[in-house]
Structure 1
Amino acid sequence: MSIRLRALGLVLRIFVKPVLSHARDPAANRELLEKGARRFFRMPPYALQREARLQGGVSGIWVSARPATRPVPSDRLIFYVHGGGFIAGAPETHAALLARLAWLTGVEVFAPRYRLAPEHPFPAGIEDIRAAWEALLQRGYSPDRIVLAGDSAGGNIALALLAELCSRGQRPAGLFALSPHTDFTFQSPSIRENEHRDTMLPANRRKDVARWYLSSGDVSDCAASPIFATFLNPPPVLLQYSQTEILRDDASRLAAILRDAGGNVEEQVWPDAPHVFQIFDGWVPEARDALEGVADFVARRLDVTRPGKSRT
């Protein structure tokens, strides 16, 4: 564990976790993420971000890196659903992370906007992400040339969409999720075991998040809690998470379910890292190590050669 990662954990524990623990409404969470993104999430050089407008009113952003000197494949894509606890975040708050993924993979990233709770509770968000998927297919992308992805709440939505796509024969090339939330019944032992070890997420707010996102919805609905979904012939999946975060077992339990369904699942686990630490690439070396693992996974699934690496 690097000194920088230790320092990051301390900063999050002192300044971020108390805000998340005591915020009375989502506005504080949104402001915290937006300010943090502007101040601390670094875009790599020569990254291009542009507005996306697709059929059906779908919007979002396209992100690529060094497109002038290294044209991106026109038929391959990372489809990324941003996190933010279902109540905060936007493609723009995650643009630096997406640009780093684009830089490492040489593949363009599309991040759609989706409606946030509590103003737009479940299933509004997943309806928007489903519409974005359909808009990409109408644009000419083939499911087996798209890697689904997401972090935290975005990982939840991406996994719920994956189960639906597999059931209707639109199996994507693969999926990677960074610390996904998968169970609104909160049965994962790590919720309590890591309550005090998690440097960022407060376990005491889990019922509030469920109330904001689900409103009167069923906590065991597989579209809200993909831990209860049926995955028919799932594609390869990469899950990255930390041993000390409260969502550790949301990821590990889902990995077991995917394997039972015949899926090939790779788990990459860090012993003591914050929730979605990958977004701090440029600040802590562990974030780059994690993104390198993601990039290798994407390159295998989309059959592309990573920039600066020869195909083996």
Structure 2
Amino acid sequence: MKLAEIAPELRGPARRLPRLPLDRPFGLWLVRRTMARMRPVAVPDVDIEVTAGLRIYRPREPRSDLTLLWIHGGGLVIGNTVQGDAFCGETARELGITVVSAEYRLAPEHPYPAALDDCHAAWKSARDHAADPARVVVGGQSAGGGLAAALVQRLCDEGERPLAQWLFCPMLDDRTAARRDLDARRLRGWDNRLNRLGWRAYLGQDPGAAVLPHYAAPARRENLTGLPPAWIGVGDIDLFHHEDVEYARRLRAAGVGTTVHIEPGAPHGFESWAPDTGIVRGYLATARAWLGGFA
């Protein structure tokens, strides 16, 4: 990817993005070790409770009985709830809602369905912590967005329908990772080589197989009828742009109210690694305005 393709305000932060060495066991261990040492971030006027694999963000001045179950990203192989302290805390404070962030087991040590099962358990816990168990939204970023979409599908099949789904650059379709023609494009933030690594670790097999277990890749679901309203945000130079836009198109075709926000010149995960830019502030304001419509 040429730097000129990236929005000017994001170019400085994009230059500093390292390529994650996840393709080597020591590199994966090192990244996990570094993330495990991340220090919690205090958010003014928000109390954070840590319990049973959850981080719960409660505004000191609640204004709504809405609860958000948030699922962090990390390509299914890295990540933890602490990385979302600022985002989850600010969302809780700005909207006056409770946010519950889910921890889940990582691949390859714990392949499908371990992460989804953990998110399913977190859903039950989120409902227990919710002021109104009928008003819980499921959201997530990147791999967490994919897990959120899969969790919504599973819950609907089980007769439990979340209020909405809030998906940031969701990792939805393993067939993208199977496309070798995408490998040469060295995308910032997350490229297709890393994408293949994440999907292979999670699925326990090469991505792109004719048949996958149910809910393993949410874009594979044929019938999307009856799913809750969705917001999907993604950059137009994100690896997941095409699969996200296609999923949104199919949701709309199935009669699901779907809002899509495409950010020009934005690579994958820009909202995480360029939080102090005007582009990210505007993007998050748009996303939170949509979510706030349910508050």
1:63 corresponding residue in structure 2: 57
Q: Which residue of 1 aligns with 2:203?
A: 214
Match of 1:123 in 2: 113
CA spacing shift, 1:144–1:277, aligned 2, 3 Å: farther
Q: Is the CA contact 1:194–1:244 (under 8 Å) kept in the aligned structure 2?
A: no
For residues 254-300 of structure 1, the C-alpha deviation after alignment (integer angstroms, 9 at most, x for no partner) is 11121122101111011111312222464212111111112111111
Query: Is the aligned partner of 1:287 residue 2:280?
Result: yes
User: 1:48 is aligned with what amino acid?
Assistant: D
Alignment of 1:69-218 (within 5 A): 70-73=61-64, 75-139=65-129, 142=132, 144-186=134-176, 192=181, 196=185, 198-216=187-205
Aligned to 1:28: 30
Q: Which residue of 2 aligns with 1:224?
A: 216
Moved more, 176-185 or 133-142: 133-142
d(CA) in 2 for partners of 1:281, 1:192: 28
Task: Please give the per-residue CA displacement for 1:64-102, whole angstroms capped at 9, x wherever unaligned.
Answer: 34x1xx2353x3201101111111111111111111211
TM-score by structure 2 length?
Answer: 0.85
Q: Which residue of 2 aligns with 1:9?
A: 14
**1:167-219 residue CA offsets vs partner (Å, 9 max, x unmatched):** 23322111111110111122797x85695362121212333222221214966
Partner of 1:233: 226
Conservation of the 8 A alpha-carbon contact between 1:112 and 1:132: yes
Q: For the residues of structure 2 that align with 1:64 and 1:211, how far apart are their CA atoms?
A: 36
Q: TM-score, normalised by structure 1?
A: 0.81
Question: Do the aligned partners of residues 44 and 2 (structure 1) sit closer, same or farther apart at CA in structure 2, a change above 3 Å counting?
Answer: farther
How many Å separate the matches in 1 of 2:131 and 2:72?
A: 21
Whole-angstrom distance in 2 between the partners of 1:200 and 1:20 = 12
Q: How far did residue 244 of structure 1 move?
A: 0.7
Give CA-to-partner distance per residue, 1:126-168, whole Å, 9 cap, x none. Answer: 0111112123334566554111100011111110011122223
Q: Contact (CA 8 Å) 1:143, 1:170: kept in 2 or not? A: no
Q: Please give the secondary structure, in 1, of the residue aligned with 2:13.
A: helix
Match of 2:49 in 1: 50
Count residues in correspondence: 285
- Runs of 5+ in structure 1 lacking a partner? 54-58, 303-312
Contact 1:63 1:102 (C-alpha < 8 Å) held by counterparts = yes
List alignment gaps of at least 5 residues for structure 2. Answer: 1-5
